[in-house]
Amino acid sequence: MIKDEDNIVIVGGGFAGVNLAKQLLKARQKLHVTLVDRNNYNFFPPLLYQVATGFLDVSNISYPYRKLFRKNLNFTFRMGELLEIRPEENKVILSNGELAYGKLVIATGTESNYFGNQNVKSNALPMKTIADAVYLKNTLLERFEQAARINDAAEQKKLTTIVIAGGGPTGVEIAGMLSELRQNVLARDYPELKSLPFEIFLVDGVASVLAPMSKKSQEYTLQSLQSMGVIVRLNVLVKDYDGSLVILADGTGIETYNLIWTTGVTASTFSGITVDAYGRGKRLLVDEYNKVKGFDNIYAIGDTCLQTTDAAFSNGHPQLAQVAIQQGRNLAFNFNALLKGNVLRPFHYNDKGSMAIIGRYKAVTDVPKPHLHFRGGFAWLLWLFIHLRSLINFRNKLRTLSSWTAAYFSKDQYLRMIVRPASKKSDKNV
């Protein structure tokens, strides 16, 4: 029988939540870990764009929670969505029931931010989840198929033109991958469309791509994208989108049915958490131990929290995987320290650097200490190694390496199938 006070409930099974659970279970302390997630699998967001472009299969970057933790007797998985927190009862209300907790950890990550633009939200193609990536792949392939069977040149161009909003790592990486797809695959797969340009636009409201990275990385990335035929429009925001025309803030427009939205994220709010506990971007305000402002036993880690106590990051940490991983591990250390009566350890982020891949033999890496910058083939190999190493288990590593090796030698991939779920609706309260 699980005692409520021994039950640590973690809501969200991304980088932060999974690393917290792993470290707690590894310590073999007298506690129980309950992981709650709306999906029954963990997935690796940095490689979503490769699923969306047909270069990796969903199974390459995802793994079921129950299989991941099946050897841990003091672990429970609950598939459901957090609806409400009742701090006075130490209880969470889920879409399919309720759970009591001794400590609650919110690790729900972020979702796409459309900045209040309902037209963009309704018509653009996001890329934050596995479902988004699969839907994006299906949609692009269906539109290419449609273009191949019609004779209207204007419609064909709108069906095959792609606009990517957001010049961060995700936007840059999907632009590069689509450019390689256009160069190596589309003319062979769609000979009916070989006269079309398959234009790819990358649009961002700031003055450079990869804004958080070094100037050297920004300049190399811009030059590489342009050499690959990507049309880069900087210092201009997407103002509106009706499903066929992207309207930019400078008054110009791009006719397309394909707007991929990779710009901006926002955290979620939860009933039961007071308004003053939220900061910028709806992120939960936490202290140096990741405890949520105003609560004794509620914590937040990863992208969903805003921590300003780290001297080197007084405006909050970047919403990156490494921050989430390190916060999860540090919180596990502190929970174990509490059980033993030891001193807690405040969180300090160890910035290991940033990287982005652009295309074959093209990538950039910035290492803050000792201020190193790599680009080109070496950075590309480094990106491949780091991302392969970061996948959650050996099976995923092996399958991804196999897919990358096949794609490298063939400059192609076989995963361009349009597979949609049946029309019968699933039960949301499973």
Q: How confident is the model at residue 27 (pLDDT cuts 50, 70, 90)?
A: confident
pTM, whole model, 2 decimals?
0.93
Per-residue model confidence as pLDDT tens digits over 147-203? 999 999 999 999 999 999 999 999 999 999 999 999 999 989 999 998 999 999 999
**In this structure, are 139 and 250 located in the same domain?**
yes
Of 319, 258, 260, the residue nearest 46 (C-alpha): 319
Per-residue model confidence as pLDDT tens digits over 330-374? 999 999 999 899 999 999 999 999 999 999 999 999 999 888 999
What pLDDT score was predicted for residue 414?
81
Of 387, 398, 393, 394, the residue nearest 321 (C-alpha): 387
What pLDDT score was predicted for residue 1?
57
Cα-only R_g, the chain: 22
Residue 306 predicted with pLDDT over 60: yes
Final residue before a domain boundary, out of 293, 323, 340: 340
**In this structure, are 176 and 189 located in the same domain?**
yes
The count of structural domains within the chain is 2
Alpha carbons 203 and 205: distance in angstroms, whole number: 7
**In this structure, are 221 and 100 located in the same domain?**
no
**In this structure, are 151 and 245 located in the same domain?**
yes
Residue 430 predicted with pLDDT over 80: no
What tokens appear for 104 in the block?
A: 């609650």
The whole-number average pLDDT for the span 291-312 is 97
**In this structure, are 220 and 197 located in the same domain?**
yes
Q: How confident is the model at residue 209 (pLDDT cuts 50, 70, 90)?
A: very high
Chain centroid to Cα 289, Å, comes to: 25
**In this structure, are 239 and 320 located in the same domain?**
no
Final residue before a domain boundary, out of 231, 248, 263: 263
The answer as to whether 209 is a domain residue is yes
The answer as to whether 171 is a domain residue is yes
Per-residue model confidence as pLDDT tens digits over 372-421? 999 999 999 999 999 999 998 999 999 999 999 998 898 888 888 998 87
Per-residue model confidence as pLDDT tens digits over 3-18? 667 799 999 999 999 9
Q: What percent of the chain has pLDDT over 70?
A: 97
Angle formed by the axes of helices 377-390 and 394-410, to 10°? 150
**In this structure, are 296 and 192 located in the same domain?**
no
What pLDDT score was predicted for residue 2?
63
The answer as to whether 164 is a domain residue is yes
CATH number for the domain that contains residue 171: 3.50.50.60
Per-residue model confidence as pLDDT tens digits over 45-78? 999 999 999 999 999 999 999 999 999 999 999 9
Q: What's the Cα-to-Cα distance from 267 to each of 145, 260, 263, 271, 319, rounded to whole Å?
A: 36, 20, 14, 14, 11
The answer as to whether 372 is a domain residue is no
Residue 425 predicted with pLDDT over 70: no
Domain membership of residue 195 as a residue range: 118-263
The whole-number average pLDDT for the span 122-143 is 96
**In this structure, are 300 and 174 located in the same domain?**
no
> Letter for the amino acid at 305?
C
Query: Among residues 5, 88, 111, 173, which one is catalytic?
Result: 173
Q: What is the mean pLDDT of the chain?
A: 94
Phi and psi for 317 in degrees, rounded to 5? -80, 155
What pLDDT score was predicted for residue 424?
56
The whole-number average pLDDT for the span 69-92 is 96
What pLDDT score was predicted for residue 370?
83
Final residue before a domain boundary, out of 263, 283, 307: 263
**In this structure, are 106 and 126 located in the same domain?**
no
What pLDDT score was predicted for residue 423?
61
CB 248 within 8 A of CB 237: yes
Q: What percent of the chain has pLDDT over 90?
A: 89
What pLDDT score was predicted for residue 321?
94
Residue 426 predicted with pLDDT over 60: no
**In this structure, are 240 and 275 located in the same domain?**
no
The answer as to whether 369 is a domain residue is no
The answer as to whether 385 is a domain residue is no
Annotation says 111 is catalytic = no
Per-residue model confidence as pLDDT tens digits over 319-328? 999 999 999 9
Phi and psi for 276 in degrees, rounded to 5? -70, -5
**In this structure, are 245 and 157 located in the same domain?**
yes
**In this structure, are 224 and 181 located in the same domain?**
yes
The whole-number average pLDDT for the span 227-247 is 97
